[in-house]
Amino acid sequence: MQTHEIIKRFREHFERAGHAVVPSASLILDDPNLLFVNAGMVPFKPYFLGEAPPPWPRATSVQKCVRTPDIDEVGKTTRHNTFFQMAGNFSFGDYFKEDAIRLAWELITNPQDQGGYGFDPERIWVTVYLDDDEAIELWQKVAGLPLERIQRRGMADNFWSMGVPGPCGPCSEIYYDRGPEYGAEGGPIADESRYLEIWNLVFMQNERGAGSGKEDFPILGDLPAKSIDTGMGVERVALLLQDVDNVYETDLVRPVIQKAEELSGRKYGANEVDDVRFRVIADHARSGVLIVGDGVTPGNEARGYVLRRLLRRIIRSARLLGVTEPVLVRFAEVVRDAMGPTYPELVSGFDRIAQVLKAEEDTFLRTLESGSRIFDTAAAQVKAEGRATLPGDKAFQLHDTYGFPIDLTLEMAAEAGLSVDEDGFRKLMAEQRARAKADAAGKKTGHGDQTVYRELLELGATEFTGYTELASEATLRGIVREGKRVRSAKEGDIVEVVLDRTPLYAESGGQESDAGTIVSGNAELEVVDVQKVARKLWVHQVRVLSGEIAEGEHVEARVDPEWRVGARQGHSGTHVVHAALRQVLGPSALQSGSYNKPGYLRLDFAWTGGLSEETRSEIEEVSNLAVRKDLPVRVVYTDMGGAQEMGAVALFGETYDETVRVVEIGGPWSRELCGGTHVEHSSQIGPITMIGESSVGSGVRRLEAYVGIEAFKYLAQERALVQNVAAMLKVPDVEVPARVEALVERLRAAEKELERVRAAQLVASAGSLADQALDVRGVAVVALALPEGTSGGDVRTIATEVRGRLGERPGVVALFAPDGGKVSFVVATTSAARDLGLAAGKLVPAFAPAVGGRGGGKPDMAQGGGTNPGGIAEAVAAVRAEVERALEQR
C-alpha cells in the first residue's frame, strides 16, 4: 500500500467517524518552545491547554513534522529521521478511551478491501501505563487482545505531558510484531526493533504541576473534561505495509536514494560508509524541501541555521559519493514529485523553493573554497611548528565560523598527513550546545500562567467591531495587573483590560495595534497596546489618565481616527507592493514577513540577489499605477478550501481559523488571506514611495516604503535636499547629477594621484631601510619599526621592496607598524637566507609574544598582528637574537 493511500484511508476513516478533517499546519508556528512543529498535536495545543475553545468536538489531521536534536545521527542508523508525518485523531472533551481504542483497532485490523490496513490481529501488542486497569479491560473488551500481549510500563514510556504544567495522562502504545528475524521474543519490553511502535493513544485526563524530566512532576488532579490525542507514524505503517526493512526503502523516500545512485554511479547497499551518505541525502532532502516550502531560508540563527546544516550535509554527502555537480534542486524535484500529492504547495511554490536551494548551494560551494584556503593555512602552520595534529579550536573555527563540516576537515587533514584533535573539537561543540541550550531556555516564555485569561475567555471571546466602526459601547470584563486579576484601577496605573467588544485592532499579520482611548463616566484610559490571547481575547494595555475604572462598568472604546487612516494605508499599501512585486519578479517572489504602521510599510520576500534600480523603480511604478486606478477593495469570508480555489495567498507560519477572511484589491490582482484593516479603494492609500531595498539574510530581501502623507513628507525633504545642493553648486536643479558626477571624478583622479605619490615614497623608503641592515653572522637583518599608522598592506609592500634591495645576499626583513593599540608585522626572507634554514614562518613565534600577537605564513613571507605596540623594541631584538640562534645551531 502506497503512503498516499495510507494517508487517504486514515482521513476517510475518521471523517466517517464524525471528525473534522484539518489540513497539516505549517512547520513554523508561533510557539516559543519550538523551532519546528514536532508532533501532530502541536497545532491543537491551545485547545488542550484551554487557551482557546476548540472549533470542533473531534478532529483528525496528518501533520508534517520535523525533529532535529539528532541530526548528526541521521544516516548512521535506519531509525533516525528528521522529517516524518504524524496522523492523529483528537477529541476535545468528546469521546474518551473506549472509542479511541475502538477507532484505532478498526482502522488497523479491518481488511484492506473494506478501507482498513489489514494488519494481522494476532501480531499486535499494546502497552499501557502501570495502573491503567481500565485500558487493559478495554483492550480485552474492544479488541479481544489476550493479557499476554498487553504489557504495563512506567511513566517514562507510557505517561504523556507537554513538559510544562497543564494537561497530561496515561497513554497506550500499539506495536506490531515483525517476526523473529528482527529480534527477541517477549513483546515491546523485550525488543522494540522487532516489536515496532506504530501508534500512541494519549488519554488526557490529569493535570500536572511544575517539574523536570518525564517523571519528576506532581499530578494535581483530574481535568474537568477528558480528551484524546493520538499519533500514528505514517512512515512506520508504510514500511510494514510495503514489507520493507526500514523507512528509507519506502515509496516516498527510496526515489531520492535512486536519484543519488543515478548521479553518483554508486549503489545503495554496497557498503555501510556510502549507505550513511545515501540516507543523509534522502532524509535531509525531504526535511529541507518541506522547511523551505514553509518559508524558512538558510541563515546563521535558529530555524535558518538548522536548515543550512541540513542542506550542507546533503551537498557534502553527495560530494563524498563522487558527485561534483549541483544537487539540491535535483533532489528537490524528486521530493516535489513524491510528496506533491499530499502537499500541493510544493508544486505550486517550487520555483521559489528551487531558487532558495540554488542560492544556498552556490554559497556553500564558495564556503568550501574559502574554507579550504583557511585549512591550508592552518595545516601549513601546524607543519611549520613541527606538529602533526590540527588543534581542536582550529577545527571548531572552521566548522562554526566558516560552515566547514568536521568530516571534511578530517578527510583533508588525513590527505595532508595530519590528524585532528577531535576531543578538543567535540568539547568546544558541547560547550556551544550548552550555551545555545541555556540561551534558548532563557528566551522561552513557555505558556506561563494563563489562568487569568482562561477565566476571562470562559466569559466569551471578544467581539472585534473595528471593521465597521471606530467607537463601540462595551462592558469591561476584567482588569489584570502583573498577571493577577484586580477589581479596579486608578489614575496613573498601567494595567490590562479586557472588553466584551472593541473596535481597537490587536497587533497581528504585521500590522501594529491601534491607538485610542477607553472612557467611562468618570475615567479616561489611554490605549498603549492591544494584543490577542488565544486568538480570541483582545487584551488592551492601558494607562489610566484620570478617574478610576472598575470591572463590570460600561465604557466606550474609541480608535484614534487619524491613526486608523494611516494604519489602513500602510496595510493596504503592503498588499499593493506585494502584488506589484509578484507582477514584476514573478509569482515565486512571495512575502515571508511584513510590518506596517501609519505611513510606513516593510515587506520581506524570498529572493536571491539585490534588485536593480530599474527593477525597484518598476515595482514602485506598478504600485502607484494600482493606486491611481482606484481599484476596489473587497472582503470575502470563506473556508480554506474556497480561499485556495480563489488563488488567495496565505502567509508563511500564520495559523488560520476554519473561516478565513480574503482581502481583494482589484480582484485577482491582489488576493490574500488577511485579518487587517484596509481602505475601501486603492486611491485612499495615497502615493507609495520606496525608501530602501536590502538583504536581511540568505535568500531574503526587504523592501521599505512610505505611504500617504509620510510619502509626501519624504519627497518634500528630498526636493529640499536637491535644492540646497543646487544652490551650493550654483547650478539649476536638473544639472545637479552631472555636476556631482564631475566632482566625484575629479576627487577620484586626485586620490589616484595621491596613491601614486604614496607608492613612490614607499618604494623610495625601501632603499634607506635596506641600508640600515645589521650583519648577523653574515646575514643582513633589517628589523625596524615603521611610522605610526602604516597600514598592513603597506607593511607587506615595503618588506617586499626591502628584500628585493638585499639582492643575492642572505637576508631577513622584519617590519613592525604600530597603529593605535595594535601592531601589524611582516617577515620576509631572501632565497639565500632560506638556504641557511631561516624560514619566515618559523621566526614569528620567537617575537610574536613581545607584541601580544600571533601570525604565520610560508618560508618566504609571514605576517600577523598584535595588541602591544610597546613591545616592538623587544620584538626587534628578538628577531635578531633568533636569527643568531638559528645560525649557531647549523
Residues 289, 329: contact at Cβ < 8 Å?
no
Per residue, the 3-state secondary structure of 578-596, as one string, reads HHHHHHHHCCCCCEEEEEE
Q: Which helix or strand (DSSP H or E) is residue 702 part of?
A: strand 700-707
Q: Is residue 728 part of a domain?
A: no
**Rounded CA separation 760/700 (Å):** 46
Considering the domain architecture, whether residues 607 and 585 belong to the same structural domain is answered as yes
Q: Is residue 725 part of a domain?
A: no
Q: Residue 819's closest CA among 792, 843, 840?
A: 792
Boundary (domain end) residue, out of 419, 443, 467:
443
Considering the domain architecture, whether residues 697 and 786 belong to the same structural domain is answered as no
CA distances from 359 to 299, 312, 325, 329 (A): 12, 12, 14, 10
Helices and strands (H, E) in the chain, number of each type: 25, 35
Residues 9-22, mean pLDDT to the nearest whole number? 96
Count other C-beta atoms under 10 Å from residue 554's C-beta.
Answer: 10
Instruction: Report the domain count for the chain.
Output: 5
Q: Residue 407's closest CA among 393, 425, 424?
A: 425
Q: Is residue 723 part of a domain?
A: no
Residue ranges of the annotated binding site are 571, 575, 674, 678
**pLDDT, position 792:** 80
**pLDDT, position 829:** 95
Residues 582, 347: contact at Cβ < 8 Å?
no
* CA Rg value for the chain: 34
Considering the domain architecture, whether residues 263 and 354 belong to the same structural domain is answered as yes
Considering the domain architecture, whether residues 83 and 222 belong to the same structural domain is answered as yes
Q: How long is the chain? A: 890
Boundary (domain end) residue, out of 427, 443, 459:
443
**Maximum mean pLDDT: which of 63-72, 79-88, 247-256, 789-798:** 247-256
Boundary (domain end) residue, out of 192, 215, 244:
244
**pLDDT, position 83:** 93
Considering the domain architecture, whether residues 771 and 803 belong to the same structural domain is answered as yes
Q: Is residue 675 part of a domain?
A: yes
**Rounded CA separation 65/39 (Å):** 6
**pLDDT, position 448:** 43
Cα 263–chain centre separation: 30
Considering the domain architecture, whether residues 269 and 361 belong to the same structural domain is answered as yes
Q: CA triplet 309, 408, 372: central angle to 5 degrees?
A: 100
**pLDDT, position 696:** 80
Question: Which amino acid does the sequence have at 417?
Answer: G
Considering the domain architecture, whether residues 269 and 164 belong to the same structural domain is answered as no
Q: CA triplet 461, 466, 467: central angle to 5 degrees?
A: 110
Residues 329, 688: contact at Cβ < 8 Å?
no
Residues 121, 324: contact at Cβ < 8 Å?
no
Residue ranges of the annotated binding site for Zn(2+) are 571, 575, 674, 678
**pLDDT, position 446:** 40
What would the grid cell of residue 723 be?
535644492
Residues 128, 201: contact at Cβ < 8 Å?
no
Q: What percent of the chain has pLDDT above 90?
A: 61
Residues 234-244, mean pLDDT to the nearest whole number? 95
Q: Residue 257's closest CA among 331, 315, 346, 178?
A: 331
Does the pLDDT value for residue 204 go beyond 70?
A: yes
Q: What is the pLDDT of residues 700-757, one digit of tens each?
A: 889 999 999 999 999 999 889 989 989 998 889 888 889 999 999 999 999 888 877 7
What would the grid cell of residue 542 be?
492601558
> What burial letters (b/e) apply to 242-262, b meaning 16+ CB within 10 Å?
eeeeebbbbbbbbbbbebbbe
**Rounded CA separation 798/796 (Å):** 6
**Residue position matching grid coordinates 515595482:** 619
Q: What is the pLDDT of residues 94-128, one digit of tens each?
A: 999 999 999 999 999 999 999 999 999 999 999 99
Residues 330-355, mean pLDDT to the nearest whole number? 92
Residues 236, 197: contact at Cβ < 8 Å?
yes
Residues 514, 531: contact at Cβ < 8 Å?
no
Considering the domain architecture, whether residues 70 and 188 belong to the same structural domain is answered as yes
Question: Which amino acid does the sequence have at 319?
Answer: R
**pLDDT, position 444:** 40
* Torsion sign over Cα 314, 319, 320, 321: positive
Q: Residue 291's closest CA among 606, 502, 679?
A: 606
Q: Which CATH number fits the domain that encloses residue 181?
A: 3.30.930.10
Residues 364, 319: contact at Cβ < 8 Å?
no
Q: What is the pLDDT of residues 444-485, one digit of tens each?
A: 434 445 668 888 888 888 999 999 999 999 999 999 998 889
Which structural domain, as residue segments, surrounds residue 270? Answer: 254-443
Q: What is the pLDDT of residues 519-530, one digit of tens each?
A: 998 899 999 999
Give 592: exposed, middle or buried? Use CB within 10 Å, 0-12, 13-18, 19+: buried
* CB contact set of 532 (below 8 Å; sequence gap of 6+): 506, 507, 508, 538, 539
The per-residue pLDDT of the chain, averaged, comes to 89
Residues 579-589, mean pLDDT to the nearest whole number? 90
Alpha-helical segments (H) within 730-784? 736-771
Q: What percent of the chain has pLDDT above 70?
A: 95
30-44, 221-235, 254-268, range with the lowest pLDDT: 30-44
Considering the domain architecture, whether residues 498 and 581 belong to the same structural domain is answered as no
What would the grid cell of residue 783 be?
628589523
Q: What is the pLDDT of residues 848-884, one digit of tens each?
A: 999 998 888 889 999 999 999 999 999 999 999 999 9
Q: Is residue 724 part of a domain?
A: no
Q: What share of the chain is helix, strand, coil (3-state, %, to 5)?
A: 45, 25, 30
Residues 643-667, mean pLDDT to the nearest whole number? 78
Count other C-beta atoms under 10 Å from residue 650's C-beta.
Answer: 18
> What burial letters (b/e) apply to 276-301, b meaning 16+ CB within 10 Å?
bbbbbbbbbbbbbbbbbbbbbbbbee
Considering the domain architecture, whether residues 103 and 206 belong to the same structural domain is answered as yes
Collapsing DSSP to helix, strand or coil, 211 comes out as coil
Q: Which CATH number fits the domain that encloses residue 798?
A: 3.10.310.40
Considering the domain architecture, whether residues 10 and 137 belong to the same structural domain is answered as yes
pTM, two decimal places: 0.67
**pLDDT, position 474:** 95
One-character DSSP codes across 376-424: HHHHHHHHHTT--EE-HHHHHHHHHHH---HHHHHHHHHHTT-EE-HHH
**pLDDT, position 442:** 43
Considering the domain architecture, whether residues 531 and 633 belong to the same structural domain is answered as no
Q: Is residue 754 part of a domain?
A: no
**pLDDT, position 759:** 61
What would the grid cell of residue 14 be?
475518521
**Residue position matching grid coordinates 503512503:** 3
**Rounded CA separation 280/337 (Å):** 19
**Paired residues of 196 in beta bridges:** 176
Q: Strand 811-819 and strand 779-785: pairing?
A: parallel
Phi–psi pair at 50, nearest 5 degrees: 75, 15
Q: Is residue 726 part of a domain?
A: no
Phi–psi pair at 296, nearest 5 degrees: -85, 140
Q: What is the pLDDT of residues 404-450, one digit of tens each?
A: 777 778 877 887 889 999 898 888 888 876 665 554 444 343 444 56
Phi–psi pair at 835, nearest 5 degrees: -65, -25
Phi–psi pair at 572, nearest 5 degrees: -65, -35
**pLDDT, position 443:** 39
Does the pLDDT value for residue 401 go beyond 90?
A: no
One-character DSSP codes across 463-513: EE-TTT-SEEEEEEEEEEETTEEESEEETT-EEEEEESEE-SPPSBTTBPP
Q: Is residue 72 part of a domain?
A: yes
Q: Residue 569's closest CA among 733, 431, 441, 705?
A: 705
Phi–psi pair at 260, nearest 5 degrees: -65, -35
Q: CA triplet 409, 863, 782: central angle to 5 degrees?
A: 150
* CB contact set of 703 (below 8 Å; sequence gap of 6+): 577, 581, 602, 603, 605, 616, 619, 690, 692, 693
